């Protein structure tokens, strides 16, 4: 009975136990004495330049319609509906350069009767505070994306209790007379530690081959 009782218990040989303990002590000594040497030094992560950290919008949105700093009402208050092309009158507006695709006429956007407002298709005034509705007249799909947050810029908080998100209107980024962005200098690429990248020779070789061989 005694032999049967001890039959299921396996005994570890003394030499195996000594070998395991010795291995652990050796491994501890390797790390303690830094026998493997130090890890390769990491590149210093460059600080982001202030011009790339600016959160201001591309353009400053005015609270009222002005020209050269003067409100439109200072000249157009109480006058009859404007006719013709204001750029051809040779008074003030001829220096405005319009490059807005096929939309080259002032009164496609500006209201003839109320120059401080914009105009809908039927002549209904659109206030500056609702300028996105003016842009939506022609740019419906972009307005849809802007409204859903896929186009343009949003800031603030997802948490409505903290104020919720804030949208940026079209003219905070686009010049309404020349909406296409002019060339801008891109921010530097994100920092990547060289140890996480593949061999430079592989990328260099691929690039060189493509440059020399060209498209087939």
Q: List pLDDT tens digits, range 86-125.
A: 666 556 777 788 889 888 888 889 988 888 899 999 989 9
Tell me the average pLDDT across 58-72: 83
Classify strands 165-167 and 154-156 as parallel, antiparallel or unpaired: antiparallel
What confidence category does residue 84 fall into, taking pLDDT thresholds of 50, 70 and 90? low
| CA torsion angle 148 151 153 158 (round to 10) | 30
Q: What is the pLDDT of residue 145?
A: 93
Q: What is the pLDDT of residue 5?
A: 55
Tell me the average pLDDT across 40-69: 77
CA angle 47/49/51 to nearest 5° reads 160
Whole-angstrom Cα distance, residue 192 to residue 45?
9
What confidence category does residue 179 fall into, taking pLDDT thresholds of 50, 70 and 90? very high
Determine phi and psi for 197, rounding to 5 degrees.
-100, 160
Q: What is the pLDDT of residue 68?
A: 78
* Least trusted range by pLDDT, from 65-79, 117-131, 199-213: 199-213
């Amino acid at each position: 009975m005694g032999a049967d009782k001890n039959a299921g218990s396996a005994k570890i040989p003394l030499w195996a136990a000594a070998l395991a303990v010795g291995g652990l002590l050796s491994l501890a000594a390797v790390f303690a004495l830094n026998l493997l040497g130090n890890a390769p030094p990491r590149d210093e992560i460059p600080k982001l330049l202030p011009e790339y950290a600016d959160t201001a919008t591309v353009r400053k949105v005015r609270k009222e319609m002005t020209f050269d700093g003067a409100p439109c009402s200072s000249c157009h208050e109480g006058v009859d509906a404007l006719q013709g092309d204001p750029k051809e009158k040779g008074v003030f507006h001829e220096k405005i350069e319009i490059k807005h695709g096929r939309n080259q006429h002032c009164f496609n956007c500006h209201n003839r009767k109320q120059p401080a407002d914009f105009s809908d298709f039927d002549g209904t005034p659109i206030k500056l505070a609702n300028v996105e509705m003016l842009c939506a007249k022609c740019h419906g799909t972009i307005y849809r994306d802007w409204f859903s947050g896929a186009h343009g810029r949003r800031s603030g908080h997802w948490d409505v209790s903290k104020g919720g998100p804030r949208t940026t209107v079209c003219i905070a980024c686009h010049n309404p007379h020349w909406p296409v962005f002019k060339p801008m200098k891109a921010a530097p690429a994100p920092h990547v530690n060289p140890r996480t990248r593949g061999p430079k020779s592989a990328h260099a070789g691929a690039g060189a081959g493509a440059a020399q061989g060209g498209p087939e």
